[in-house]
Amino acid sequence: AQTVTQSQPEMSVQEAETVTLSCTYDTSESNYYLFWYKQPPSRQMILVIRQEAYKQQNATENRFSVNFQKAAKSFSLKISDSQLGDTAMYFCAFIYNSGGSNYKLTFGKGTLLTVNP
Amino acid sequence: EAGVTQFPSHSVIEKGQTVTLRCDPISGHDNLYWYRRVMGKEIKFLLHFVKESKQDESGMPNNRFLAERTGGTYSTLKVQPAELEDSGVYFCASSQAGGAGYEQYFGPGTRLTVT
């Protein structure tokens, strides 16, 4: 079974600073994807960034980047130049390519990030 | 393009009552998923439709939960009779295809409170 662990229930950062959210996962699969989703207060969850396991290069989306350590099964999210709009619950998620029809996401418990002015 | 919508946004019911949640996926998305987040815990998968067929319902907690997807469009999730432990946020998501690399687009969720 796959598990995703986010060890930081809450974090805070000052506006314009950098923050890193941690995520570890456990799987015996080799073909999988990792995601960070963001859910702002009272709004719907949106995809922030995606990493394919077979790609060695870390994914980057503007101010968001990941540090993907496959051997260590670690997938952290770095937010640079934090903005007030980054305040949200962040979920780390995993999905593997079963070659069949099993495409359910496995989520961590989430990290509540607050960006302070 | 309209996103995934869910109705109602909140529902408060008493134990033993019935509640029906609705999800409208993004137009053209054949794949529809239901997830649930109980307070303080992980978001957990409930089931997956491909068009009107249930592809995977391994996450459904018990037979008090019934999901349908009429004509492969919107989906409903009925809880009957509701129990206290059913409280949580129910998310619906849709994707264009069922592959692991396809993004699942989430709705805003329905917060269900059973008292």
Domain of B56, CATH number, reads: 2.60.40.10
Q: What local confidence, expressed as pLDDT, does residue A101 receive?
A: 64
Q: What local confidence, expressed as pLDDT, does residue A70 receive?
A: 95
pLDDT at A68 over 80: yes
| Average pLDDT over every residue of A83-107 | 88
Can you tell me the distance from the alpha carbon of A103 to that of A101, in angstroms, rounded to the nearest whole number? 6
Would an 8 Å CB–CB cutoff place B99 in contact with chain A? yes
**Least CA distance to B43: which residue of chain A?**
A107
| pLDDT tens-digit map of B58-115 | 999 999 999 999 888 999 999 999 999 999 999 999 998 877 778 899 999 999 999 9
Q: List the domains of chain A with CATH numbers.
A: 3-116 (2.60.40.10)
Would an 8 Å CB–CB cutoff place A94 in contact with chain B? no
CB A26 within 8 A of CB A3: yes
In a domain, B10, yes or no: no
In a domain, B22, yes or no: yes
**Least CA distance to B106: which residue of chain A?**
A45
Best residue in A44, A48, A94, A95 for a mutation probing chain B (most B CBs within 10 Å): A44
In a domain, B70, yes or no: yes
pLDDT at A100 over 90: no
CB within 8 Å: B103 and A47? yes
**Residue B57 belongs to domain spanning:** 17-97
Q: What local confidence, expressed as pLDDT, does residue A4 receive?
A: 97
Q: Exposed, middle or buried by CB within 10 Å (0-12, 13-18, 19+), for A14?
A: exposed
Q: How many domains is chain B partitioned into structurally?
A: 1
Q: What local confidence, expressed as pLDDT, does residue A102 receive?
A: 67
CB B80 within 8 A of CB A85: no
| Average pLDDT over every residue of A53-64 | 94
CB pairs under 8 A between A and B: 65
| Average pLDDT over every residue of A102-108 | 89
Can you tell me the distance from the alpha carbon of B98 to that of B111, in angstroms, rounded to the nearest whole number? 26
CB within 8 Å: A45 and B99? no
Q: Exposed, middle or buried by CB within 10 Å (0-12, 13-18, 19+), for A87?
A: middle
Q: What local confidence, expressed as pLDDT, does residue A11 receive?
A: 98
* Residue for token pair 């907690």: B61
Would an 8 Å CB–CB cutoff place A1 in contact with chain B? no
- How far the first Cα of chain A sits from its last, in Å, is 41
- Say which range, A36-45, A97-106, B6-15, has the weakest mean pLDDT: A97-106
Would an 8 Å CB–CB cutoff place B103 in contact with chain A? yes
pLDDT at B50 over 70: yes
Instruction: Encode A52-78 in three state secondary structure.
Output: ECCCCCCCEECCEEEEEECCCCEEEEE
| Average pLDDT over every residue of A94-101 | 77
Q: What local confidence, expressed as pLDDT, does residue B78 receive?
A: 98
Would an 8 Å CB–CB cutoff place A2 in contact with chain B? no
In a domain, B4, yes or no: no
pLDDT at B34 over 90: yes
DSSP state, residue A49: E
Can you tell me the distance from the alpha carbon of A50 to that of A98, in angstroms, rounded to the nearest whole number? 18
In a domain, B111, yes or no: no
CB within 8 Å: A103 and B31? yes
**Least CA distance to A52: which residue of chain B?**
B101
pLDDT at A30 over 80: yes
Can you tell me the distance from the alpha carbon of A38 to that of A74, in angstroms, rounded to the nearest whole number? 18
Q: What local confidence, expressed as pLDDT, does residue A96 receive?
A: 86
Mean pLDDT in chain A? Answer: 94
Position A99 confidence tier, pLDDT thresholds 50, 70, 90: low
DSSP state, residue A28: S
Q: Which of B56, B91, B100 sits opposite A97 (nearest CB)?
A: B100
In a domain, B107, yes or no: no
